[in-house]
């Protein structure tokens, strides 16, 4: 049975063999993980459809077209039949050898008897031979001339070179395209997370018991972004040729870091999702990414993106747009800082927020007010419906 690179999506034409989990000639069982494939968008796994002996035709690191045969499996039943045919009974083998030997003996002519050779005459007198070493002492071997000392060659192991994966190439291309094809600007603000943190602390246990998932920060920001996008539709739009395409739906993409790069799955119709549904969906994406089960459909259709550099400790950054989207919100680490509250200095848990936007479609006024709206919703989360 041939192992082929499957069709993943209309926009994917090739894949790289990232890793073979089985070796050449190894016996595999049905549903065993055979290899990982990397495309410019997702990583997927291929499992054995039948059991048998694996033959690998394309090595790790090679890039091939969709539909290419990269290996095959000789099914166990067929292999057993071939093995049975190859193993003949010992008696039959011995009989065949004897018959072959008899046939060869008949074909060979009879060997002629050799004539006796005359005896050699004995020497008149036998002299004792002396070794040459007794006649003349050999001089000790001369030492070879020593070569001039050469400088020790140090192997430079400080540099490692390896080819970029298809996913990393695609990420690099998109980042360069953002700089070249958009008028990207970034505006900043900060939000006081005191009330969000108080809500999470108060309802943490009841939320977990009722929904089976923890209440995180991301669901608050997804809800806040949806409400802000309703007030500022340009941020939820995109440019297509000479037209502005306004989306009357809210598909929020969530940037998730992985070992192979940044992946951005999409929460479809996030405006219809409750807090628990958002948290469960995000956890589901993380599980899919870790197990290479993410589908191409999970990455398509986003209208706005949220990225959280705070999970890595980032205090402030400029997030890059995710084309063809026109806006992206950057969350950052929560830090206690002194802030002025009603004329008094208080220590509050603060988070810097960053909105990168395409200035071709979004004016500075709309961008600033959009970010201010998110700040207001986060600082007064009671405005957003919290499902407990």
Longest CA–CA span in the chain (Å) reads 136
Alpha-carbon Rg for the chain, nearest whole angstrom, is: 38
3-class secondary structure per residue, 104-156:
HHHHCCCCCCCCCCCCCCCCCCCCCCCCHHHHCCCCCCCCCCCCCCCCCCCCC
Whole-angstrom Cα distance, residue 201 to residue 224?
19
**354: three-class secondary structure by DSSP:** strand
Instruction: Determine which one of 269, 287, 295, 359 is catalytic.
Output: 359
- Cβ-based neighbours of 321, under 8 Å, separated by 6 or more: 178, 182, 184, 327, 328, 356, 357, 358
Token couple for 103: 């046939």
* Residue 342 among the catalytic residues: no
**314: three-class secondary structure by DSSP:** coil
Whole-angstrom Cα distance, residue 231 to residue 271?
13
The alpha carbon of 60 is separated from its chain's Cα centroid by a whole number of angstroms, namely 13
* Residue 2 among the catalytic residues: no
Instruction: Determine which one of 231, 269, 287, 363 is catalytic.
Output: 363
Active-site annotation, residues: 359, 363
């Amino acid at each position: 049975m041939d192992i082929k690179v499957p069709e993943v999506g209309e926009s994917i034409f090739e894949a790289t063999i990232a890793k073979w989990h089985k070796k050449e000639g190894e016996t595999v069982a049905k549903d065993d993980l055979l290899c990982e494939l990397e495309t410019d968008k997702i990583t997927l796994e291929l499992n054995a459809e039948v059991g048998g002996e694996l033959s690998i035709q394309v090595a790790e690191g090679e890039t091939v077209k969709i539909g290419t045969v990269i290996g095959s499996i000789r099914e166990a039943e067929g292999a057993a039949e071939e093995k049975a045919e190859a193993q003949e009974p010992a008696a039959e083998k011995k009989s065949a050898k004897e018959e072959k030997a008899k046939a060869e003996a008949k074909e060979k002519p009879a060997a002629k008897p050799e004539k006796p050779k005359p005896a050699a005459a004995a020497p008149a007198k036998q002299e004792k031979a002396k070794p040459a070493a007794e006649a003349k002492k050999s001089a000790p071997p001369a030492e070879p001339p020593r070569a001039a000392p050469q400088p020790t060659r140090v192997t430079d192991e400080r540099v490692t070179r390896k080819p970029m994966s298809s996913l990393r190439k695609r990420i690099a291309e998109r980042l360069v395209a953002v700089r070249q094809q958009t008028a990207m600007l970034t505006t900043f603000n900060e939000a006081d997370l005191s009330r969000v943190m108080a809500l999470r602390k108060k309802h943490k246990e009841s939320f977990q018991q009722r929904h089976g998932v923890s209440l995180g920060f991301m669901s608050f920001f997804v809800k806040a972004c949806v409400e802000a996008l309703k007030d500022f539709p340009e941020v939820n739009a995109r440019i297509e040729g000479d037209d502005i395409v306004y989306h009357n739906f809210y598909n929020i993409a969530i940037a998730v870091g992985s070992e192979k790069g940044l992946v951005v799955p999409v929460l479809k119709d996030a405006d219809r999702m409750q807090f628990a549904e958002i948290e469960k969906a995000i956890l589901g994406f993380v599980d899919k990414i870790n197990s290479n089960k993410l589908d191409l459909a999970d990455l398509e259709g986003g209208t706005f993106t949220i990225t959280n550099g705070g999970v890595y400790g980032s205090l402030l950054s400029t997030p890059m747009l995710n084309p063809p989207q026109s806006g992206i919100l950057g969350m950052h680490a929560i830090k206690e800082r002194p802030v002025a509250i009603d004329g008094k200095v208080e220590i509050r848990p603060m988070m810097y927020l960053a909105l990168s936007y395409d200035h071709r479609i979004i004016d500075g006024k709309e961008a600033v007010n959009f970010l201010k709206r998110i700040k207001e919703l986060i600082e007064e989360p009671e405005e957003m419906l919290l499902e407990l």
